[in-house]
Chain A
């Protein structure tokens, strides 16, 4: 197999492939050996003397996501320049040696990062249940570092609980139902001389219902955003079909950043991705982006959870319109407002007043107890 896969590569384009792949990996794309080999084959298949054709061919092979396209442009420019003659490459001195080495090793995108520290596994565990009980109603804003560490375990546990819905996919069920399981009945009747005596039934199974979490990370939410991002990370890691967004003045999708088991690195990545951390708030604008660019993720029966205190510097009328649209496309709309924990809370901010008519549930989300309330509500949906 390797014979036909290793064509005589004498031209400059193929020589840059290893570098191009490295450039893509450095930006977080996953480019493995398979893609690289296909890329060589693709260059064979097109007219390599045309810069444009070679580029398009490589793009089709090496990209697997719309977000990869920009990374590819960048890496391609870096390796092959802007159409000018090829410059000096650090790989030149190796005289193609790197290609001989390539098939033996694949690198993870994060190969350059330091290995996780030894104590990464040692999550602090509450010393006694009383610790957790004490934390139950305590406001996130008043947490000490130690309490944050304890709460993290609890939050991870809460994040596993989420909404489900009935699927069209069925599975065998003991109870007598509406759909006979003919597959099992045919098998069973083979044992009884063709007489279908044993009855078997199928029932619809339950699937996770999509959840979209949208967290306000503006200045006024800073004390809570830290813990709520923990909750978002734990949800993305623990359940399928969870999407995470953060917004201040603009909306950023952070689902991919929050993925992975190492929560410190996940939160770091997410914080990096959000350019307007601890800045101002324009909720209406953020929800408008959600409606327009990610409308398909919100529709189709998703539960939408917005975590924000409703302090909004944008236009309340726009916020109202966008909330109405969200309400119509989402299955349920839950709003978590840390201010609502106060016994005398009344939705006085302009933003909150515009938003409340369109929410199904309003919770505080300022403590472990209220996150548990959220988990209960999600399970009942």
Chain B
């Protein structure tokens, strides 16, 4: 538990206790960890930080609409196959054509074929963007960390990677997939933790700026009437902006750093949400 906290902290990722415990369990139990949370709370960063801290190789699969096995696991290099066929003037046999020479490896296959002494952190990002079919495939993949390529046979991981999945909740994930995973909801950090995060991520930031920015951000989040709330990422950028502009810079003038919806900016200014910060 302390091990996970320290590992993440060594990479500048300050995790609260529940998150550190979830990460620890994911490593110890060798089960995938599904991370959900509002945009900008650092879901993706967890995997990055853990990989960097443990010297593991980070392999990232960014999901998108229409992703399938040929984007995620492997594909054949068809143009080269066609050229090879022409060059051999029909002499090439199938076994030759569908050999590793013509295999294109995609992230999931990379994760399986890593050396036994090279730990791997596999990040499957924004799984909610993929479709149901891909989710079903992933379920199988996560169950036994093996894939079958018809022409080559079954490839099994020498050592199962540590797997993180993130979701933005644009749609509900399939129950079966959720049940295969550990689950953690990343909340916005407490003001105290967020100040600590700002100090860590923006070296040399004066206490006054850290205080102002964190107070402003938590007021925006508490306001409750905004379409898009600022995440931790925005807090950090805001602190950087103030560091450049000087401590006495006006928060309302730099509001565009934290809020990206026009109505939100107008509302905050009209109601004087940031007055006195």
Within 8 A of B (CB), among A217-266: 240-241, 255-256
Judged by a CB distance under 8 angstroms, whether A38 is at the interface is yes
- Name the interface residues of A19-52: CB closer than 8 Å to any CB of B: 30, 32, 34-35, 38, 41-42, 45-47, 52
The answer to whether B78 and A66 have CB atoms under 8 Å apart is: no
Residues of A within 8 A of B22 (CB): 56, 60
B65 nearest in chain A by CB position: A168
A288 to B66, CA, bound (A): 31
A194 at the interface (CB under 8 A from B): yes
CB pair A53–B170 under 8 Å, yes or no, is no
Contact of B185 with A66 in the complex, beta carbons under 8 Å: yes
Contact of B36 with A by CB under 8 A: yes
Chain B residues contacting A52 (CB-CB under 8 Å) are 17
| B86 engages A194 (CB within 8 Å) | yes
Contacts A60-B25, A189-B85 given; does A183 touch B76 at CB 8 Å:
yes
Q: How far is the CB of B186 from chain A (nearest CB, A)?
A: 11
Q: Count of chain A residues with Cβ under 8 Å from any Cβ of B? A: 52
Q: Which interface residue of A61, A64, A241, A255 has the most chain B CB atoms within 10 A?
A: A64
| Contact present for A32 and B184 (CB under 8 Å) | no
Q: Closest CB of chain B to A291's CB: distance in Å?
A: 6
Binary CB contact string for chain B from 188 to 218 against chain A (1 if under 8 A, 0 otherwise): 0000000000000000000000000000000
Q: Is the beta-carbon distance between B21 and A46 smaller than 8 angstroms?
A: yes
Q: Is the CB of B36 within 8 A of A167?
A: no
Is A126 part of the contact surface with B, judged by Cβ < 8 Å? no
A145 within 8 A of B: no
Nearest Cβ on chain B to A24's Cβ, whole angstroms: 13
Residues of chain B within 8 A of A56, CB atoms compared: 17-18, 21-22
* Interface 9-residue window, one of B46-54, B175-183, B239-247: B175-183
Q: Are A69 and B185 also in contact (CB < 8 A) when A35-B179, A64-B179 are?
A: yes
B226 CB → nearest A CB, Å: 7
Contact B227 A295, beta carbon cutoff 8 Å? yes
A169 sits at the interface (CB 8 A): yes
Q: Mask for B221-257, Cβ within 8 A of A = 1, else 0?
A: 0000111100000000000000000000000000000
Q: Are B227 and A292 in contact (CB under 8 A)?
A: yes
Q: Are B82 and A196 in contact (CB under 8 A)?
A: yes
Q: Would you call B88 an interface residue if the criterion is a C-beta within 8 Å of the partner chain's C-beta atoms?
A: yes
| Contact among B18, B94, B181, B184 for A190, CB-based, below 8 A | B94
Annotate B71-106 by CB proximity to A: 1 below 8 A, 0 otherwise.
000001011011001101110101001000000000
CA distance A299 to B169 in the complex (A): 12
Say yes or no: A255-B82 contact (C-beta < 8 A), given A60-B25, A186-B97, A295-B227. no
The CA-CA distance from A56 to B1 in the complex, in Å, is 11
Say yes or no: is A297 at the interface (Cβ < 8 Å to chain B).
yes
- Asked whether B171 lies within 8 Å of A297 as measured between CB atoms, the reply is yes
Which residues does chain A contribute within 8 Å of B225, judged by CB atoms? 288, 292
CA distance A190 to B170 in the complex (A): 44
Is B78 a contact partner of A186 (Cβ separation < 8 A)?
Answer: yes
Taking the closest CB of chain A, its distance from the CB of B140, in whole angstroms, is 15
Q: How far is B263's CA from A169's CA once the two chains are assembled, in angstroms? A: 36
When distances are taken between beta carbons in the complex, the residues of chain B under 8 Å from A295 are: 227-228
Check: B270 CB closer than 8 A to any chain A CB.
Answer: no
Chain B residues within 8 Å of A46, by CB: 1, 21, 24-25
B97 touching A190, Cβ below 8 Å: yes
- Residue in B65, B66, B85, B179 whose CB lies within 8 Å of A30: B179
B183 and A194 within 8 A (CB): no
Q: Verify A65–B178 contact, CB threshold 8 A.
A: yes
With A57-B21, A182-B82 as contacts: A38 and B29 at CB distance below 8 Å: yes
With A and B bound together, what is the CA distance between A47 and B24 in angstroms?
Answer: 12
Check A30 against B175 for contact (C-beta < 8 Å): yes
Contacts of B68 in A (CB 8 A): 169
Whether A310 sits at the interface, judged by CB under 8 Å, is no
Task: Give a binary string over A146-174; 1 marks a CB under 8 Å from any B CB, 0 the rest.
Answer: 00000000000000000000011100000
Assess whether B79 is in contact with A182, with CB atoms less than 8 Å apart. yes
Given contacts A46-B1, A60-B183, contact A53 B21 (CB under 8 A): yes
Closest to A301 in B: B65
Query: A122 at the A/B interface (Cβ < 8 Å)?
Result: no
State A56–B185 Cα separation when bound (angstroms).
Answer: 12
Q: Mark A175-213, 1 if CB is under 8 A from B, else 0.
A: 000000011011001100111100000000001001000
A64 partner, pick from B31, B175, B227, beta carbons under 8 A? B175
**How many angstroms between the C-alpha atoms of A59 and B17 in the bound complex?**
13
B172 at interface (Cβ–Cβ under 8 A)? yes
Q: For the complex, give the distance between the alpha carbons of A153 and B65 in Å.
A: 34
Q: Let me know if B115 is at the binding interface, CB within 8 A.
A: no
**B131 touching A292 by the CB < 8 A rule?**
no
Tell me which of A60, A185, A241, A300 contacts B78 (CB under 8 A): A185
**A210 CB contacts on chain B under 8 angstroms:** 171
**Distance (whole angstroms) from the CB of B262 to the closest CB of chain A:** 10
Q: Which residues of B contact A47 (CB under 8 A)?
A: 1
Q: Knowing that A60-B21, A186-B97 are A-B contacts, what are 17 other residue pairs whose CB atoms are under 8 Å apart, sorted by A's residue number?
A: A30-B175, A35-B179, A38-B31, A45-B28, A47-B1, A56-B21, A60-B25, A60-B33, A168-B66, A182-B82, A190-B94, A194-B85, A194-B89, A207-B131, A210-B171, A296-B169, A300-B170
5 contacts between A and B (CB under 8 A): A41-B29, A60-B21, A168-B65, A210-B171, A295-B228
Which residues of A are in contact with B by a Cβ distance under 8 Å?
30, 32, 34-35, 38, 41-42, 45-47, 52-53, 56-57, 59-61, 63-66, 68-69, 167-169, 182-183, 185-186, 189-190, 193-196, 207, 210, 240-241, 255-256, 288, 291-292, 295-297, 299-300, 321, 325
